Structure 1
Amino acid sequence: MTRSTAIVTGAARGIGLATTKLFLEEGRRVVMIDRDEAALAEAANGLTNITPILCDVSDPEQVAVMVPAALDALGHVDALVNNAGVADFGPIEQTDFERWRTVMATNLDGVFLVSQSLTPALKQAKGAIVNIASISGLRASTLRVAYGTSKAGVIALTEQQAAELGEYGIRANCICPGPVRTKLAMAVHTKEIIDAYHDAIPLNRYGTEREIAEAIVFLCSDKASYITGQTLAVDGGFESTGVGLPALRG
């Protein structure tokens, strides 16, 4: 079966952009979703076979507008990558309800809203869903009460999707990236944090955006045709050593 289309949320930068580019290398047409208009325009510049659509996935009304536009651009949907997310870290006592809801709205509600809205199209194509969680959804750490809980919710939601949608030929899987060498991470991680991560990760380095994208695109492909309901940590072995580095305690 030829898989020719994909929708990627949070596609303007980082893992989402790397995944978009890898899909394009496969020959797919891609709808790039992001809420940052300037960043989306910059990311889309020079790419072919893409359709950028501005959308905040945490807003049901915007999702309701985005989905028909995406389907009009693609015709059918072979793969949905729910990558959009916010990384907001802080101590439990400093995480007020507004901060909690802001994280949940994008990281968990957005995955639910987009997946649910595209389920009819995914049924028709017997498509694949890949949700992006985090190593913080598998193991608790400091300063991640909202972020880690939202990502644990994404893992549980993925299993629900696999259990309920499998009879329609839809596969749902979850990727949990470990520390990734993004521009943002390198800008905010101190040398102490970088050294601590390198010491704690068995492969002794951060991952790359491309390495995460490779796992995502594999799970969207027919090479993964009997894989569903799974959570894959792409983390250099970080989960095996535990998390909660002293250097990350605020």
Structure 2
Amino acid sequence: MDLKGKVAYITGGTKGIGYGVAKVLIDQGMKVAISGRDAETAKQAATALGGSDVVIGLASNVGVLEDEIMAVNEIISKWGQLDVVLANAGVGHFAPIDELEIDKWKQMIDTNLNGAYHSLKASVEALKASKGYYITLASLAGTNFFANGAGYNASKFGVVGFTQAAMIDLRKYDIKVSTIMPGSVSSHFNDNDPSDADAWKIQPEDIGDLVVDLLKINPRTLPSKIEVRPLRPDKK
């Protein structure tokens, strides 16, 4: 894919991984729409990334299909196409299963799993038209379970399975579908405040570089599931 002039939509793009990927794609000459739950925050992030010629900020709760449909329609209205969708929005709550509150369980499923479905459902016809690329941001927690992670594991195992099945369904339309499964990333996830102490972690722009690699690989080749880890995990 020649990236210059292509259009990407990144959910959860106001900070962290989504914001970092947006910066890398803009540097590649792409136009990028980022979304978050709060309209003003999304607009501020878009301004920081370069302004309305190359990036727009949209309000969308990915847990609501109608929000994602409106976001995609706004992108098409502005730029006339949609070539890449990164379903990145995610949330995590961690507690033993007997202590995990139902509202937190539902929020993880609605955002992480239902959100990935909604983003694809809203954009799939545009991706058919562009022969585009749909990417989910899953996690190594989508294949490795751990204590206190039942809800998060359930959502991310679901994202991995959903994405791999969608890949089989959609490749007949020349739509590529991949899931990226990172380990520890320096981001605001789980109320982390990124600092120099996170230097050992994967950085958001590293995920951006990986997305670019996926987009630029020969069209005949599809890396459908990518696990990525820090080289030297922090030893506490």
Report if aligned partners of 2:21, 2:208 keep a CA contact under 8 Å in 1.
yes
Distance 1:148 1:7 in 2: 25
From 36, 39, 58, the equivalent of 1:37 is: 39
Code of the residue aligned with 1:228 in structure 2: it is: L
Q: CA deviation at 1:217?
A: 2.5
CA distance in 2 between counterparts of 1:67 and 1:179 reads 30
How far apart are residue 237 of structure 1 and its match? 5.5
In 1, distance between residues paired with 2:176 and 2:79?
A: 20
Q: 1: distance between equivalents of 2:59 and 2:70? A: 10
* SS across alignment from 1:100: helix
Corresponding residue of 1:213: 208
CA distance in 1, matches of 2:84, 2:70: 19
Q: Deviations over 1:67-112 (max 9, x none)?
A: 2112112211111100011121111111133221111000000110
Greater helix content: 1
Matched, 1:232 2:226: yes
For structure 2, list consecutive stretches of 5 or more residues without a partner in the other structure: none
Greater shift, 176-185 or 138-147, is seen at 176-185
Structure-to-structure mapping, 1:2-151, within 5 angstroms = 2-3=2-3, 4-46=6-48, 47-48=50-51, 49-151=54-156
| 1:199-240 alpha-carbon deviations (Å, 9 max, x no partner) | xxxxx9311111122112222x132523436211111268xx
Are residues 184 and 151 of structure 1, via their aligned partners in 2, closer, same or farther at CA, if it must alter by over 3 Å?
A: closer
SS of alignment partner, residue 218 of structure 1: helix
Distance 1:131 1:14 in 2: 15
Alignment-mate amino acid for residue 232 of structure 1: I
Deviation, structure 1 residue 183: 4.7
Consecutive aligned runs of 4 or more in structure 1 exceeding 3 Å deviation: 183-189, 226-229
Q: Are the equivalent residues in 2 in contact too, given 1:53–1:66 (CA < 8 A)?
A: yes
Distance in 2, matches of 1:186 and 1:12, equals: 15
Is this contact kept in 2: 1:14–1:182, CA < 8 A? yes
When the two chains are superposed, the root-mean-square deviation of aligned CA atoms in Å is: 2.4
User: Sequence identity of aligned pairs in percent?
Assistant: 25
CA positional deviation for 1:149:
1.2
Shift of 1:116: 1.3
Unaligned stretches of 5+ residues in structure 1: 199-203
- The number of aligned residues is 228
In 2: Cα distance, 1:124 partner to 1:43 partner = 29
